[in-house]
Amino acid sequence: MVNYQHRDLDRVFAALVDPTRRAILARLEREESLSISAIARPFAIKLPAVMKHLDVLGDAGLITRSKSGRTVDIRLSPAPLRAAMDWLERYERFWSPALNRLAAYAEGKEAEAQASEAAANQTGAKSE
């Protein structure tokens, strides 16, 4: 299994930032392989622009190309996406429980603050 370096991950995330590229990946996820013109069809952009997007996806390792006759078939290559997800999950496992405890702690402090505010209001009302 390929060991993904941070530089590679950066490339994957950078590729995923663009909505057109995400749409391309989503379509490739549904269909096993597509020709470049089939990929370009739903988009209101010119073929060279689509080619550029495919270059970015290819550099990130997210797609593979193979020639069949006169057309180029594009396929999804899911391993880099999974490496990106692993990265995210590792950090999520770290921070998500911490933020839950943060919320519980702050909510406890809020309850204390409200109780002491209520007590202060009562003594205030009594002294009037």
**Positions in the binding site for other proteins (CB under 8 A):** 1-4, 6, 9-10, 13-14, 16-17, 22, 25-26, 29, 76, 78-79, 81-88, 90-107, 109-110, 113
Single-letter residue type at 13: F
Q: Please, what is the minimum distance in Å from the beta carbon of residue 5 to other proteins?
A: 9
Q: Please, what is the minimum distance in Å from the beta carbon of residue 127 to other proteins?
A: 26
- Whichever of 37 and 105 has its CB closer to other proteins, that residue is 105
Residue 11, token pair as written in the block: 């490339």
- Whichever of 101 and 126 has its CB closer to other proteins, that residue is 101
- Whichever of 47 and 119 has its CB closer to other proteins, that residue is 119
d(C-alpha 25, C-alpha 76), whole Å: 7
- Whichever of 69 and 94 has its CB closer to other proteins, that residue is 94
Q: How would you label 14-35 residue by residue, b for 16+ Cβ within 10 Å and e otherwise?
A: ebbeeebbeebbebbeeeebbe
Q: Please, what is the minimum distance in Å from the beta carbon of residue 106 to other proteins?
A: 4
Single-letter residue type at 111: A
Phi-psi region of 77 (alpha: psi -120 to 50; beta: other; left: phi over 0): beta
Q: How far apart are the two ends of the chain, measured CA to CA in Å?
A: 76
Q: Please, what is the minimum distance in Å from the beta carbon of residue 126 to other proteins?
A: 26
